[in-house]
Amino acid sequence: MNKAAVLVAGGKGMRMGTTLPKQYLPLAGKPVLMHTLEKFFSADPSLLLILVLPKEDFDYWDYLCASHAFVLPHKLVAGGESRFQSVKNGLMALPFQEGLVAIHDGVRPFVSENVIQTSFELAAEKGSAIPVVALKDSLRKVETSGESSFQDRAHFRLVQTPQTFQLKPLLQAFAVEELAIFTDDATVYEHQGWEISLIEGNTENIKLTTPEDLAFAEFLMSAR
């Protein structure tokens, strides 16, 4: 079966507080994105790897790859104005229209190989596989009036990536106009009326967004 992973890294990383976008920041000696690509290759060397970047960053990425002697096979695709458009561009670049595809945030380098492998297995069976983790903190719903109410955290999950799907229906789902409710790929797929299947994620699979996240990422790397 054809299998691919589309890694999306089109953000500017404003909350990181650095001039360099977060996907290129050094982590344990090399850019974050390289760690993420290596994790998917290690989980399944047969995967076609698509890396979605801003078009203007292609030369810089080539420079980074040369500087770090990074030769892991992958294809560059230009991102769009939104995550939805960037994912769609990545999907359109695939050389096949049937199979399985995982969509992953490029700045989540700590996804486990088991989660990647399990996501493909369940998506092949059920159509989709979305990793989630349970909440550890108490949860309150805040109204626009400022009033708040307790929510039972047992009924909620935090959503991660990779979000893995059978490709043919996912292409159909992304053929629609972008809507504000599309916060991730699962919501695009679900908009078609199709059910989402969940798998257990791994708690260290954080999205690097703030300086604190990067500091924690360095700790995770040093603890290995």
DSSP letter for each residue of 198-211: EEE--TT-----SH
Return d(Cα 130, Cα 90) in angstroms, integer.
Answer: 19
Q: Model confidence over 150-209: pLDDT tens digits?
A: 999 999 999 999 999 999 999 999 999 999 999 999 999 999 999 999 999 999 999 999
Q: Say which CATH superfamily domain 3-222 falls into.
A: Spore Coat Polysaccharide Biosynthesis Protein SpsA; Chain A (3.90.550.10)
139-142 and 30-31 beta bridge pairing: unpaired
Domain ranges of the chain: 3-222
Structure tokens given for 158: 């935090």
Which segments of the chain have a pLDDT < 50? 13-15, 17
- pLDDT reported for residue 145: 94
**Whether the Cβ atoms of residue 162 and residue 107 lie closer than 8 Å to each other:** no
DSSP single-letter state for residue 19: S
**Whether the Cβ atoms of residue 84 and residue 10 lie closer than 8 Å to each other:** no
Whether the bond between 109 and the residue before it is cis, its omega within 30 degrees of 0, is: no
Return d(Cα 200, Cα 158) in angstroms, integer.
Answer: 10
**Radius of gyration (C-alpha) of the chain in whole angstroms:** 18
Q: ∠ CA 80-4-105 to the nearest 5 degrees? A: 50
**Whether the Cβ atoms of residue 163 and residue 102 lie closer than 8 Å to each other:** yes
Q: What is the pTM of this model?
A: 0.94
Query: Could you tell me which of 101, 105, 60, 52 has the C-alpha nearest to residue 81?
Result: 52
- pLDDT reported for residue 18: 60
- pLDDT reported for residue 10: 77
Cα 60 from chain centroid?
21
Return d(Cα 169, Cα 158) in angstroms, integer.
Answer: 24
- Is the Cα dihedral 157, 214, 6, 174 positive or negative? positive
- pLDDT reported for residue 222: 87
Angle between helical axes of 32-43 and 113-126 (0-180°, round to 10):
60
